Amino acid sequence: MNKNIKRLLYIIIALVILGLIAYPKIPKGGDKANKAVQAASGPQITVDAVILKKEQLKNQVNTTGSLLADESVTLNAEVAGKIEAISFTEGQKVKKGELLLKLNDEEILAEIEKLRFTVKLNEDNEFRQRQLLEKEAISSEEYETALTTLNTVRSEIKVLQARLEKHYIRAPFDGTVGLRSISEGGYLNPGTRVAELYKINPIKLEFTIPSKYIGVVNVGDRIDFTVDAYDQSFGGTIYAIEPQIDPQTRSIRLRAKADNTGGKLFPGQFARISLTLEVIEDALLVPSEAVIPELNGKKVYLYREGVVNSKQVTSGIRTENRLQIISGLNEGDTVISSGILQIGQGMEVNLNIK
């Protein structure tokens, strides 16, 4: 039993001596540990990197909307009548006040002509009564009666002329006439649709954005938009903001106008809209994959003097594939953008500048 205990003590003493000999040779610190791991794992890895430079950044909101006519109206009749003449063709551009349709007006013209003869008769009567009044041959009441009769007939003519004008449908503004729903010789009732009239230059866009942007969007801000029909971008300007936030969607409605001189854009088209809220001329942008989220913020890996260095950063605006860095980096810094999970502080890497 004593021999076994002595043998065990000898083994323990030998292990302690070996440990004291090996301990000074164990690498100290994170940098040496990383280098040891790197040496054990093979040759240095190659990573992509970008050299930071100041550039322009547009803070944009992307949304969708619809195109609207600048002005549109349904042309219809105010009075009933037979359609005597249609003075437009479908798709025709017309000017404000241009005659588009005429209803039969023979009856009302005859009534106006009849009243004009009555006016002539009453004018002669009023003249004679005025002469008699000047000679004091009649009372002033008799003259007033004759004058009132004359003025009444004149007023009746004005009423008929107003009714006559309703037999003619004219363009209320410059625009393009759509497809008509009537034919010459047909009978038109009040309110019956004739056609649509559209003014599409300029053309309007209506869209919504989240209400959190209400403090930074203003009348006069520029928008860019595309439609499915063309492989090009169009520009416009916001001219009106709805003074109420939608309580259901918590969004705010805006309208913009865009030049449509070429007539390429039509009401009802779907539009993809990009609204520029602000332009930063000296922004620092890094690839989104280069930014590593942490519990207390974010960091990136920099390449300095041949090795990897981590750096805490504060981010700002995010674009489709890049992120603005507000603080922590400077122009000229080399930011590593690939192999993020394979590198660590103090590691030596090969660099591929993008």
CA distance 105 to 166: 10
Per-residue pLDDT, averaged over 187-198, amounts to 94
The range of the structural domain enclosing residue 216 comes to 61-70+200-280
Predicted pLDDT at 20: 63
Same domain, 242 and 336: no
Q: Which of 347, 282, 262 is nearest to 42 (CA)?
A: 347
Same domain, 106 and 214: no
Has residue 92 got a pLDDT over 70? yes
Residue 328 amino acid letter: G
CA distance 292 to 180: 63
Q: Is 20 inside any structural domain? A: no
HSE of 56, CA atoms in CB hemisphere, 13 A: 5
pLDDT tier, 29 (very low <50, low <70, confident <90, very high otherwise): very low
Taking the CB of residue 294, how many other CB atoms lie within 10 A of it? 10
Give per-residue pLDDT as tens, 212-253: 999 889 999 999 999 999 999 999 999 999 999 999 999 999
The DSSP 8-state label assigned to residue 44 in this structure reads P
Instruction: Flag whether the pTM goes above 0.85.
Output: no
Predicted pLDDT at 277: 85
Q: Which of 204, 263, 270, 268 is nearest to 71 (CA)?
A: 204
Predicted pLDDT at 30: 46
Of 177, 197, 217, which closes a domain? 197
Give per-residue pLDDT as tens, 57-68: 988 889 999 999
281 contacts: CB under 8 Å, gap ≥ 6: 54, 56
Give per-residue pLDDT as tens, 41-56: 456 888 999 999 999 9
Per-residue pLDDT, averaged over 185-204, amounts to 94
Residue 263 is encoded by which pair of tokens? 């007539």
Q: What are the Cα distances from residue 249, in Å, to 206, 244, 256, 275, 308?
A: 16, 12, 20, 19, 47
Q: Is 10 inside any structural domain? A: no
CATH for 167 = 2.40.50.100
Give one word for 42, left, alpha or beta, with left for phi > 0 and alpha for psi -120 to 50.
left
Predicted pLDDT at 37: 45
Give per-residue pLDDT as tens, 133-167: 888 888 888 889 989 999 999 999 999 999 999 99
Give per-residue pLDDT as tens, 305-337: 889 999 999 998 888 889 999 999 999 999 999
pLDDT tier, 265 (very low <50, low <70, confident <90, very high otherwise): very high
Same domain, 259 and 302: no
Q: Which of 289, 308, 287 is nearest to 351 (CA)?
A: 308
Same domain, 253 and 348: no
Are the CB atoms for 304 and 334 separated by under 8 Å?
Answer: yes
Predicted pLDDT at 36: 47
Q: Is 4 inside any structural domain? A: no
Q: Is 134 inside any structural domain? A: yes
Q: What are the Cα distances from residue 203, in Å, to 55, 238, 241, 249, 273?
A: 33, 12, 16, 26, 14
Has residue 193 got a pLDDT over 70? yes
Predicted pLDDT at 31: 47
| pLDDT higher at 354 or 28 | 354
Predicted pLDDT at 261: 92
Predicted pLDDT at 18: 65
Q: What are the Cα distances from residue 298, in Å, to 238, 263, 301, 339, 344?
A: 37, 50, 11, 17, 15
Per-residue pLDDT, averaged over 84-105, amounts to 94
